[in-house]
Amino acid sequence: QVQLVESGGGLVQAGGSLRLSCVHSSRTFTVSAMGWFRQAPGKEREFVAAISASGDRTTYADPVKGRITISRDYAKNTVYLQMNDLKPEDTAVYYCAAALSSYPSATVRMYNSWGQGTQVTVSS
C-alpha cells in the first residue's frame, strides 16, 4: 500500500509563494505519474498539475499555468508543487496523488493513492 505524505501548506499573503512536498513510500514512485489536486470548501476536487513517471511531461490546469510548477526528485521519492503569485482563489486543501499509470492525467479516477492533504490559505 502506497502512502503519500504532504507538507508545506500554510497561510500566505496574495502574491506570495509556497512549495508543497509529497513523499511517496514505495519504489513504485519511479513508474507512477504523480498529480496535485485541490478542494475548496463546498467545491469539487479539481486538478492542479501532473507529471509523468519519467518527469519529461507535465500538464497544468488553466487557472494555474505560469504560476505553478510541478517537479519530482527520484533520490528523495518526492514530488513538489512550487506555487508563485498566489491568489485568494488558490485557497484550498491540496492533495498529492499517485497514478495507476506513467502518463500524467488530469482525471481523478486515474489516481489510486492519495495523501491526507495540506491546507493552503491565501489572504487578500
Q: Quick one: which of 118, 98, 18 has its CA closest to 51?
A: 98
Q: How confident is the model at residue 6 (pLDDT cuts 50, 70, 90)?
A: very high
Reading the block at residue 52, the C-alpha cell is 509523468
CA–CA distance, 105 with 124 (Å, rounded to integer): 31
Statement: residue 39 has pLDDT above 90: yes
CA–CA distance, 50 with 43 (Å, rounded to integer): 20
Residues of the chain with pLDDT > 90: what percent? 98
Q: How confident is the model at residue 100 (pLDDT cuts 50, 70, 90)?
A: confident
CB 98 within 8 A of CB 91: no
